[in-house]
Amino acid sequence: MLSLSPLSLNAWIWIVWFLYWLAAAYFVQATKASEGMLGRMQHLVPLLGGFALIFNDPAHPLIYGRWHHSAAGAYAADALTAAGLLIAVWGRLHLGRYWSGMVTLKEGHRLIRTGPYRFVRHPLYTGFIAAVLGSTLAAGTGDALAGFVVILIAYLIKLRREEALLTREFGDEYLRFKKEVPALVPGIA
Question: Which is it for strands 31-34 and 104-106: parallel, antiparallel or unpaired?
Answer: antiparallel
The residue that leads in pLDDT, 127 or 40, is 127
The residue that leads in pLDDT, 122 or 41, is 122
133-185 pLDDT, tens digit each: 999 999 999 999 999 999 999 999 989 988 988 898 889 998 999 999 999 99
* Dist CA 166 CA 174 (whole Å): 7
The residue that leads in pLDDT, 27 or 24, is 24
- Residue 32, SS3? strand
Contact 95, 145 (CB under 8 A): no
Q: Does the structure show a pLDDT above 80 at 99? A: no
How far is residue 64 from each of residues 3, 44, 72, 131, measured CA to CA in Å? 27, 24, 22, 21
Contact 75, 108 (CB under 8 A): no
How far is residue 144 from each of residues 17, 54, 178, measured CA to CA in Å? 20, 4, 32
